[in-house]
Amino acid sequence: MSAPNYVMRAAGPADLEGFKQLREIAGAGFTSLMLDDKAMAAKLALSEQSFASATDVAGSERYFMALEHIETGALAGCCGVKSTIGETPPFFNFRMFTEAQSSNVVNRRFDMRVLIGVNDFTGCSEVGSLFVRPEHRAAGIGRALAQNRYMLMATAPQRFRSQVVSELRGVVYPDGTSPFWEAVGRHFFKMDFDEADKLSATTDNQFILDLMPQHAIYVDLLSQEARDVVGKCHKDGEGAQRLLEWEGFTFSNVVDIFDGGPLMSVPRDQIRTLRESKRYKVEPAAQLTNAKRALIAVPNIQTYRCVSAHASVANGVAQVDAAVLAALKLEAGAEVLIWMDDVH
């Protein structure tokens, strides 16, 4: 199939109703959507402003993107990129260290894992907010939506930091409880996991600075249930973790202070999709020869749009179905940014 079914584009205030629906479907634990209507509207307004900005440096921009089903116009999913994290609000995590213990007197030596509160990733960029409505999870659209974030970064790398991170949701049971939170956070914050999660999404996170543990936590002192989930992602996030690893992200021995989920990181310029994307002149074609699946994007943040479709490239020219140009709102001969899937 050479014509796209979806377009990935900037989200703005006009998408509020669609995002309210996504919020209901995503449910508790998807922090970036757990906002009241006023906060959601403000988030979409900031996204619109960020895309419209002509800045050449990474600042406080928040690029929130919508996955739109072309035929119906329905909002099918979302994703986002934050240019800079940790400045406002602060970005706290636990870093996991291994502490060696030994005694010649009793002939014992062993290693113990220790958690210490840090804000090591202040000043990084962050990718996240990846969600696709269940009825649209087919034909690799989740992967395309994830890669789309790096296509956006490739259009203007200077607008993003040199290090990129991504938080994965930790293990949370169907009833909404988190074994890590019950073993650690509840003792310091004196509130339920859902309440803390919502506060982290809707406040300046001063409460974390005020209440988070100030000293090391020995993992071996936690319950077995909690120890088993440190650095583990929720089963629904395993696919996202594999996609991050494919892009070059690695586990940084840093975990979320609420649910113990893993934080992944990578130098921006080593991200696979970003590295492999190239610019071409685009032309419509009735038939494509030796076409491969590709991500095709408008290489301009102000007018950014991206589709997953087939393309045939040669001599600096990319041939695509005319529907691709229509979805991208481009004319023949325009410049596009393309990542080619050499496997499909």
Q: Identify the sign of the CA torsion 30, 36, 39, 44.
A: positive
Please check whether residue 179 lies inside any domain of the structure.
yes
Please check whether residue 156 lies inside any domain of the structure.
no
- Burial state string for 194-217 with b = 16 or more CB within 10 A and e = fewer than 16: bebbbbbbeeebeebeeebbeeeb
Instruction: Provide the domain limits for residue 196.
Output: 87-120+162-276
SS3 (DSSP) at 282: strand
Domains of the chain: total: 1
Please check whether residue 207 lies inside any domain of the structure.
yes
Q: Is 234 one of the annotated active-site residues of the chain?
A: yes
Please check whether residue 100 lies inside any domain of the structure.
yes
Average pLDDT for runs of 10 along the chain of length 344: 86 97 82 87 97 96 98 96 88 92 88 93 95 91 96 98 96 91 94 86 80 92 96 91 97 94 97 98 93 97 97 95 97 98 72
- Return d(Cα 17, Cα 105) in angstroms, integer: 68
Q: What is the pLDDT of residue 28?
A: 63
SS3 (DSSP) at 86: coil
Q: What is the pLDDT of residue 1?
A: 47
Please check whether residue 218 lies inside any domain of the structure.
yes
- Return d(Cα 182, Cα 325) in angstroms, integer: 51
Q: What is the pLDDT of residue 2?
A: 65
Please check whether residue 166 lies inside any domain of the structure.
yes
Tokens 């072309």 found at: 70
SS3 (DSSP) at 24: helix
SS3 (DSSP) at 145: helix
Query: Taking Cα atoms as reference points, which of 166, 147, 128, 131 lies closest to residue 250?
Result: 166
Please check whether residue 52 lies inside any domain of the structure.
no
Catalytically annotated residue among 136, 234, 310, 344: 234
Please check whether residue 259 lies inside any domain of the structure.
yes
Q: What is the pLDDT of residue 199?
A: 83
Strands 163-167 and 125-132: parallel
